[in-house]
Amino acid sequence: MKLLVVLCGLLALSASHVIPAGPSDEAIPTIPGDNSHYVEGESRYVWMPDAEGNPVLVDLDEPVDESVLDSRNGANNQYWLFTRRNPNNAQIIRHNEADTITSSNYQRNRPLKVIVHGWNNNGNTAMNPTITSAFLAVQDCNVIVVDWRALANSAYNTAANGVPNVGEHLGKFLTWLINTGGGNWNQVHLVGFSLGAHVVGNAGREAGNRPARITGLDPAGPRWGSNSNALNGNNGQYVEAIHTDGHLLGIFNPVGDADFYPNGGKNPQPGCLISTCSHGRSTDLFASSVRNPNRFVGRQCNNIWDAELGNCNGGTLVMGNSNIGKRGRGLFGLRTGSSWPF
């Protein structure tokens, strides 16, 4: 039934959107989640997952809605605090309202983990409780889930154009939080998925590149390949990325100090049939790595082509985990299983 609804919606989309005639015409893909047609920098249409992982067809040529950017910018970010004292019920910390810190379970002497979702998601999307519970299972820490749904749930191009502003507001919030409630930048770990990976990159830049660690989970690829606002290795003291849908929904080229390419870093990941599944696999691999900190051992690759082919036999570096003092540099390949804990 769900497939039927998606196909009916696709037919409605086809009928309501007129595609200009000319040599650049591109057929609208009709198989939900199948991005085998997609060519970076050329294709107009791509399937992306919604909050439940269902494929949604995105038009990458859709104009940016400036009115949405003006009204749903990073000032609308919500910051949800979870600790071992409240692992399931969020406490809301509001920027520039110090009493929301003092009345919460925030503790200045604990490490701070920050999680940022991607497009068409929100703070309740499965990746957030999955990663939050993993962090709290292995460490007594402050976990802040950033809900930026006000902008994230708009059209993809509009949300993508608002990423720098969302990240800027997050960076300002974290600076205020540490200055007001206490904390240490050497204990701050930012984690972002898809567009959220670029959000945390911009947050790190706004915070003077002080976060001890930034982890990008399959950083969003469409329209980000040459974007100066994309996540990069200068955004924190140590920046790593886990690539699982490279060349499609994720950037394939290295973006951090260390870049990991499980199963070649692209679709299909083991157990996945479609690109949208492979894209989201990065969040589950990371959550598993937090609970099992030495489970995923990468071997260094000579170059990006060896990473894609999995021909990597150099030195080792563990992928993921929550070790705030982790450091490394290079490209790393590894193999995983097809189901939890992978």
Judging by beta carbons within 10 Å of its beta carbon (0-12, 13-18, 19+), is residue 84 exposed, middle or buried? middle
For residue 68, the number of C-alpha atoms closer than 13 Å in the C-beta half-sphere is 18
Q: How far apart are CA 50 and CA 190, in angstroms?
A: 22
DSSP 234: T
Q: How far apart are CA 223 and CA 246, in angstroms?
A: 13
Domain ranges of the chain: 66-253+269-291
CA–centroid distance for 32 within its chain: 22
Structure-token pair, residue 258? 């260390």
Name the amino acid, one letter, at 336. T
The residues annotated with a catalytic role in the active site are 194, 218, 279
pLDDT of residue 52: 87
Q: Given the structure tokens 């769900």, which residue do they identify?
A: 2
For residue 64, the number of C-alpha atoms closer than 13 Å in the C-beta half-sphere is 13
Closest CA relative to residue 60, chosen from 76, 92, 77, 37: 37
DSSP 22: S
pLDDT of residue 132: 98
Q: How far apart are CA 165 and CA 33, in angstroms?
A: 29
Closest CA relative to residue 130, chosen from 295, 319, 290, 293: 290
Mean pLDDT by 10 residues, the chain (342 residues): 40 36 65 93 94 93 96 97 98 98 98 98 97 98 98 97 98 98 98 98 98 98 94 98 98 97 98 96 98 97 97 98 97 98 98
Closest CA relative to residue 117, chosen from 140, 82, 84, 150: 150
Q: How far apart are CA 80 and CA 143, in angstroms?
A: 8
Closest CA relative to residue 259, chosen from 271, 250, 267: 250
pLDDT of residue 20: 38
Are β-strands 78-83 and 86-93 bridged in parallel, bridged antiparallel, or unpaired?
Answer: antiparallel
Closest CA relative to residue 144, chosen from 205, 91, 202: 91
Angle subtended by helix axes 195-206 and 156-181, to nearest 10: 40
Prediction pTM value: 0.92
Across the chain, what does the average pLDDT equal? Answer: 93
Name the amino acid, one letter, at 263. N
Q: What is the dotted CATH code of the domain comprising 66-253+269-291? A: 3.40.50.1820
Contact 157, 223 (CB under 8 A): yes
